[in-house]
């Protein structure tokens, strides 16, 4: 499915820098926006800004990605089933803490895989019944190969990427399109303080532009910066015997 989006667009995990940029990107196209987060009251400023700047309708919704049992009710409770739903849900944490504390590791895994996957699954069922819609999952290049520096986060993103692939395969021919987004590093609070090469770091607005374009063009898997496709192809190709000796 491709073509200009007329809305509404649901943003899940709407309090993040990337999510806010995505909301602005779709609002600039004239789409009504549904912002969903654990504390919707904290998004009042975003609602006012979007409504004033773009003249679109914006609604706020309480949403907890980890409340799997409540996801079906959340979908039913929306004022209108969205044309596009974007999952910007995620939690990286510190790898050293994730490796030492299994409760913390479980939280990272659930936040990056279980929560995003189950809410998109609930939305997929509703969109399939309607016969139209687009689901966008923001995953990560970290899921393309487990690395010592972030394997807890990376493993959850690997699961989410596989889930999106399977969902796309299942919904082929059903009128529902699934987009997998692999941003690489993005200049957000999550990467603040990291010493990263500028060439590898995208701005939130760049990610948003890529997502809007992918939805409208009917793209399936996108790397926000093309260089990441090459980087990850090289990393995946490193023989295991050599890879074990690296610290990337």
Is 153 in contact with 142 (CB distance < 8 Å)?
Answer: yes
Query: Which one is catalytic: 54, 151, 153, 223?
Result: 153
Is 124 in contact with 171 (CB distance < 8 Å)?
Answer: yes
Q: Catalytic annotation on 163?
A: no
Hunting for tokens 């995003």 — which residue is that?
116
DSSP lists the bridge partners of residue 221 as: 180
Please, what is the Cα angle at 59 between 53 and 64, to 5 degrees? Answer: 125
Task: State the catalytic residues.
Answer: 153
């Amino acid at each position: 499915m491709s073509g200009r989006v007329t809305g509404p667009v649901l943003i899940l995990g709407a309090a993040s820098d990337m999510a806010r940029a995505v909301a602005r990107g779709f609002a600039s196209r004239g789409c009504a926006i549904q912002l969903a987060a654990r504390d919707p009251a904290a998004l009042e400023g975003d609602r006012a800004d979007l409504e004033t700047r773009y003249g679109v309708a914006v609604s706020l919704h309480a949403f907890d990605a980890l409340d799997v049992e409540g996801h079906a009710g959340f979908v039913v409770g929306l004022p209108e089933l969205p044309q596009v739903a974007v999952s910007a849900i995620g939690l990286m944490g510190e790898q050293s803490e994730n490796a030492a504390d299994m409760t913390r590791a479980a939280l990272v895994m659930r936040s990056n895989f279980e929560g995003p996957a189950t809410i998109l699954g609930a939305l997929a069922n509703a969109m399939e019944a309607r016969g139209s819609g687009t689901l966008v999952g923001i995953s990560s290049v970290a899921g393309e190969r487990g690395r010592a520096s972030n394997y807890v986060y990376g493993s959850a993103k690997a699961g989410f990427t596989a889930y999106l692939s399977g969902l796309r395969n299942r919904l082929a021919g059903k009128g529902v399109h699934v987009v997998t987004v692999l941003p690489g590093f993005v200049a957000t609070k999550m990467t603040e303080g990291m010493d990263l090469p500028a060439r590898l770091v995208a701005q939130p607005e760049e990610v948003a532009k890529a997502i809007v374009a992918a939805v409208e063009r009917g793209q399936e898997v996108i790397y926000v910066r093309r260089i990441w496709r090459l980087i990850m192809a090289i990393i995946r190709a490193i023989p295991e015997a050599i890879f074990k000796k690296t610290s990337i």
